[in-house]
Amino acid sequence: MYLINVKDDFCAAHFLKWPDGSAEGLHGHNWKVEIAVKCDELDEAGLGIDYLFIYKHLHEILNEKLDHKNLNCLKEFNDKNPTSENVAKWIFDQMSIVVKNKNTKAIVQSITICETDNFCVTYEK
């Protein structure tokens, strides 16, 4: 089994709402994102899946949907807090569609998001 890892980043703001009705202040992060794509087999070229294919689509998703946005204002997070956990799952779901549509046996294994160098979360199915 091979894990192909690709990294990218985006800048965005958010605030979290707490169950008691309070909320933290709006603040931003330089979010770092790493995707791991699992491949059990290599293609004729000896690749599990091309890094550039993964990077291109990850970059498009991050830049078109999340970069320089207030995550609380996005429809994707209307019904949930834009926590790192929820953002990671959303990116996982988006990239899973992209990889599946490539008609390959590769699957998205995980998405790791870091708000800072010390605070990260990984979502895997």
In the chain, what is the straight-line distance between the N-terminal and C-terminal CA atoms, in Å?
17
pLDDT of residue 36: 98
Domain limits of the chain?
Answer: 2-124
pTM: 0.94
pLDDT of residue 4: 96
Regions of the chain with pLDDT less than 70: none
pLDDT of residue 29: 97
pLDDT of residue 118: 96
- Nearest-angstrom CA–CA distance, 9 and 15: 19
Pick the CATH number of 2-124 from 3.40.50.2020, 3.40.50.880, 2.60.40.180, 3.30.479.10: 3.30.479.10
Question: For the sheet containing 107-114, what is the strand order?
Answer: 69-70, 2-14, 27-39, 107-114, 120-124
pLDDT of residue 104: 79
pLDDT of residue 1: 93
Are residues 108 and 37 in contact, defined by beta-carbon separation less than 8 angstroms? Answer: yes
